[in-house]
Structure 1
Amino acid sequence: MSPNRLYAEAKDEMNSSQWDKAIPLLEKLEARAAGTPLAQQAQVDKAYAYYKSAEPAQALATLDRFIKLNPASPALDYAIYLKGIINFNDDLGVLSSITRQDLAERDQKAAKESYEAFKELVTRFPDSKYTPDARQRMNYIVGSLAQYEVYVARYYYKRGAYLAAINRAQIAVTDYRDVPAVEEALFILYKSYDALGMEQLRDDTKRVMEKTFPQSDYLLKGGKPNTDPWWKIW
């Protein structure tokens, strides 16, 4: 088949969600049309097909190769955006799935890599049609990462590991500002310092909290960190 015919066949399979049939056709097209815009399109489509067939590692490897080899491609913004999307949907940690796995055992690698991809897109291609969505997803990821640190801090606080709780709550406060999770992070700091008898730090944290969140229910009602399993919040 000619390259154009191969691509038409591959697109038909993709339109029918026959990803396992589309991938080998795209691989043939990539080899047969090497060095042409059609080969570049085949690479990007192959990455998407891998993603839709639940093979994110293959999809990301394909995109990394495409981005490295085609720095001037008109599809570069889409490739970077797709890289962010794949990681975004792969594992956002606290929001990825409803399981009974302890939050402290999870990690946010995929969410952070997703954020970096979207950040690259926004920086390099501010006028791309994919940039507005990327910005929204970046905001969501920041909130998710901050909330993750709070859940881990809460996990440690419940178990009396106050130093560990302090360390994780401080990450939320210092690395992720202007997100709702900071309120509880400060309260966990306050309670953990109190539990350790660190009065000066406790009082300093309380003053910061009173200034930043004057109507906080944690202070007004004498609340305590939510120690329910994280999956119960939904």
Structure 2
Amino acid sequence: MQHKTSNRFLHISAILLMGAMLGACSSTTKEPVIEDVKPEVELYSSAMSKLEAGNYRPAIEDLEAMEARYPYGRYSKQAKLELVYAYYRSRQAGEAKTAAARFIRLHPDHEHVDYAYYLKGLTAFEENKAALEQYIGTDKAKKDPGAARDSFADFSTLLNRFPDSEYAADSRVRMVYLRNLLAKHEIHVANYYLSRNAWLAAANRGKYVVENYQLTPAVEVALQIMVQAYTELGLLDNASNAQQVLEANFGENITADESEIAYTVWLNMEEQQTPEPPNWFSRLTFGLFD
């Protein structure tokens, strides 16, 4: 009888102990946090206020939240464009180009798709301009101004598809600037080959500039390089033809021996005279890029 009472006591104690443990666990469990989901119009208004104040990263948080919560909302398309701009202004080049490309792919007929092309080209333009200017004094043959080519292609597409776009005028100015930079890069590479006595490679680079970058200051120097390189190769007919084109277009009888000097003089002048894109383009973009 005493043995049964002892077992019953142990059983009751175990139940009470288990209940106490469960109660302790339940008392320490946190209540689930219900996230405060802002309405779409409130998120959009908040993002616009932050953009106007120059607080680009907080604005990005609002715009990204809109993309996640309201992908088909009333302001979704405009928010995607604003997100491209916010990425650009916060110097997140990769994100800006990706967001612009996504908008162009998803909304090719949108009334403001020209703005997406413009921002995509502008992002690559700013990304590559400083890098191109740093090529001087480095191993030119190992450099590739890919972002400048991408920027030129985006601006070119903008002008071809939307010649009357409000961003067309600035795009044209930037394309001229990019052409000069790309042509100058080719001259740098050709000069690198000249310094290594790689005459054929130098001649081909010069020929490429003449064929693809007409009306740039680099054409004159490219012809001079071709004259020198073809002369060194013993291709005297080619050298003579390049010399005739040089004289007919630039009116000076520059010999092959003088081409290196002419190149150095042009390079120094070009570094001082290459104009920055004019600041009047801000008026075309409502002052957003001042």
TM-score by length of 2: 0.73
Give SS of 2:259's match: coil
Q: Secondary structure at the match of 2:260?
A: coil
**Which residue is equivalent to 1:68?**
105
- Contact 2:40/2:73 (<8 A) preserved: no
Q: Any conservation in 2 of the 1:149–1:169 contact (CA below 8 Å)?
A: yes
2:208 maps to 1:171: yes
| SS of residue paired to 1:91 | helix
The percent identity for this pair of structures is 35
SS in 2 for 1:72: coil
Shift of 1:111: 1.1
Q: Which amino acid aligns with 1:223?
A: E
Distance between the aligned counterparts of 2:131 and 2:192, measured in 1?
A: 13
- What residue in structure 2 maps to residue 198 of structure 1? 235
CA distance in 2, matches of 1:209, 1:231: 18
The separation in 1 between residues aligned to 2:148 and 2:101, in whole angstroms, is 17
Q: Deviation digits for residues 148-201 of structure 1, max 9, x if unmatched?
A: 111110111122111111111111011111222100000000011112222221
2:13 corresponds in structure 1 to none
Tell me the number of residue pairs that the alignment of Structure 1 and Structure 2 aligns. Answer: 231
Indicate the residue corresponding to 1:109 in structure 2. Answer: 146
Aligned mates of 1:12, 1:211 — CA distance in 2:
59
1:148 paired to 2:179: no
| Matched-pair contact (CA < 8 Å) for 2:228–2:257 | no
Per-residue CA distance 1:101-134 (angstroms, 9 max, x = gap): 3222211211111111111111111111001111
> Which deviates further from its counterpart, 183-192 or 84-93?
84-93
Shift of 1:36: 3.9
The one-letter code of the counterpart of 1:5 is E
Pick one of 258, 271, 275 that aligns with 1:223: 258
Letter in 2 for 1:225: E
CA distance in 1 between counterparts of 2:237 and 2:136 reads 39
Contact 1:165 1:188 (8 Å CA) reproduced? yes
Gaps spanning 5+ residues in structure 1: where? none
Q: Which letter maps to 2:77? A: Q
Equivalent-residue separation in structure 2 for 1:17 and 1:223 (angstroms) = 53
Answer with 1 or 2: which has the greater Rg.
2
1:126 to 163, 179, 188: 163
- Contact 1:23–1:50 under 8 Å retained in 2: yes
Alpha carbons 1:108, 1:145 under 8 Å: kept: yes
Going from structure 1 to structure 2, the CA distance change for 1:37 and 1:169 (only over 3 Å counts) comes to: farther
Q: Confirm whether residue 84 of structure 1 aligns to residue 100 of structure 2.
A: no
Q: Distance in 1 between matches of 2:178 and 2:41?
A: 40
For 1:117 and 1:214, the matched residues in 2 are separated by: 36
CA distance in 2, matches of 1:137, 1:120: 13
Q: Distance in 1 between matches of 2:83 and 2:260?
A: 47
The higher-RCO structure (CA 8 Å, 6+ apart) is 1
The answer to which of 42-51 and 91-100 deviates more is 91-100
